[in-house]
């Protein structure tokens, strides 16, 4: 597995852990555990999408989502 895939997989695992913690908190009727699970889930998803965006920008620096202004292709002058 590539390093990028490992990083994304770890963040997906974190989001999955948040789901498990939240469901467990609901099952045992704990007052704060479902909220902690929801926080961990959102944190995992947020980190997943941020890391995925960074990886895409690294591999394709001219991608439209990278925030860079695309240069126009019509910079050639017509020959006479």
Render pLDDT for 27-48 as a digit per residue (tens, 0 to 9).
999 999 999 999 999 999 999 9
Q: Which tens digits make up the pLDDT trace of 49-73?
A: 999 999 999 888 676 654 544 554 5
pTM here is 0.70
Place of tokens 């704990």: 30
Q: Which of 43, 41, 59, 42 is nearest to 5 (CA)?
A: 59
**Amino acid 73: pLDDT:** 52
Helix (H), strand (E), coil (C) string for 6-53: HHHHHHHHHHHHHHHHHHHHHHCCCCCHHHHHHHHHHHHHHHHHHHHH
């Amino acid at each position: 597995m590539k390093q990028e895939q490992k990083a994304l997989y770890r963040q997906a695992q974190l989001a999955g852990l948040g789901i498990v913690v939240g469901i467990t908190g609901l099952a045992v009727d704990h007052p704060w555990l479902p909220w902690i699970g929801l926080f961990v889930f959102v944190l995992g998803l947020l980190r997943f999408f941020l890391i995925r965006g960074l990886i895409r920008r690294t591999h394709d620096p001219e991608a439209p989502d990278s925030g860079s202004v695309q240069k126009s292709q019509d910079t050639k002058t017509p020959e006479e």
